[in-house]
Amino acid sequence: MSVKFEIRYASHPEDAAHYDTRKLRKEHLMENVFTEDDINMVYSMYDRLIVGGAFPVHKKLPLETISPLKAPNFLHRREVGIINTGGTGKVTVGEQEYLLAHKEALYVGCGDREVSFASENSRQPAKFYFNSAPAHRSYPARKITLADAVVMEAGAQETSNARKINRLLVREVLETCQLQMGMTELLPGSVWNTMPAHTHLRRMEAYFYFDVQPGQAICHFMGEPDETRHLWMKNEQAVISPAWSIHSAAGTASYTFIWGMAGENLDYNDMDTVPADGLL
């Protein structure tokens, strides 16, 4: 079986405040998103979001159901958003094939259809990062390119956070049940991905960091605004952020990250901002 998964449980913020570095990493960090010819997943109890990565090099990888879902098919009661962070690859949904180039996305609604991942060239394999959330109805599958995205310029070079926010799987682009995904690209010389930080109690969030150059790293900040913690992360790692937690990071150089959200609302701007001088 090429699908590997683990379960992560939810925690109370007062409990998380007592976590040491090892415990914080164990509960919130996904260290191995991509392993060759495998699909890796974390099933999180935060809004039942699944964070995963498919890395087909020499063979096609089927997106098989996992035991916690208690379902005949992975998409039986779920939707999934997929973004390719590697070479060109192919996602097959039922009888339909979608070719995804680097940084192109695909949304697939719920339904008992088989999904599989493959690379066009094993020497430049695709790397499919995905988020999946429970779904109450089926919406059509759709490929989304950067040209389709709602793009927002944010930050400034003077504050080291000039960035381009590509909102890919959001309600302004297509219909989903609860899943939202996008990709933020830091401009050269900028390192802060979200500053001022914020929380949003009606949805949780997952971050996946990539384009982190060799020898560089990411410091991801989380926790309640008055009880913050940090996680040092490498290239192609993901972090699960509870609804009560801030999610912000700084890198030792510029990078790109994918954000994904699940919860009870689809309002991208529903957030509670925390000023930088208000963090402890």
DSSP-derived pairing of the beta strands 39-44 and 50-54: antiparallel
CATH number for position 200: 2.60.120.10
Q: How far is CA 274 from CA 32, 110, 174, 180, 212, in A?
A: 31, 36, 30, 22, 26
DSSP-derived pairing of the beta strands 237-241 and 150-154: unpaired
- Give the model confidence (pLDDT) of 183-207 as tens digits: 999 999 999 998 888 888 889 999 9
- Give the model confidence (pLDDT) of 219-249 as tens digits: 999 999 999 999 999 999 999 999 999 999 9
For the chain, what is the mean pLDDT?
95
| Beta carbons of 189 and 264 less than 8 angstroms apart | no
| Beta carbons of 154 and 104 less than 8 angstroms apart | no
- Domain count of the fold of the chain: 1
| Residues of the domain holding 65 | 3-278
- Give the model confidence (pLDDT) of 73-107 as tens digits: 999 999 999 999 999 999 999 999 999 999 999 99
The distance between the two most distant Cα atoms of the chain, rounded to a whole number of Å, is: 53
Q: How far is CA 64 from CA 49, 84, 91, 192, 236, in A?
A: 16, 19, 14, 37, 22
Reduced to 3 states (helix: H, G, I; strand: E, B; else coil), residue 275 is coil
Query: Quick one: pLDDT band at residue 147, thresholds 50, 70, 90?
Result: very high
- Burial of 120 by CB count in 10 Å (0-12 exposed, 13-18 middle, 19+ buried)? middle
How far, in Å, CA of 25 to CA of 57, rounded?
A: 28
Q: Which of 186, 124, 178 is nearest to 155 (CA)?
A: 186
Query: Quick one: pLDDT band at residue 1, thresholds 50, 70, 90?
Result: low
Per-residue pLDDT at 197: 86
Residues paired with residue 13 on neighbouring β-strands, in sequence order:
none
Reduced to 3 states (helix: H, G, I; strand: E, B; else coil), residue 153 is strand
DSSP-derived pairing of the beta strands 3-8 and 39-44: parallel
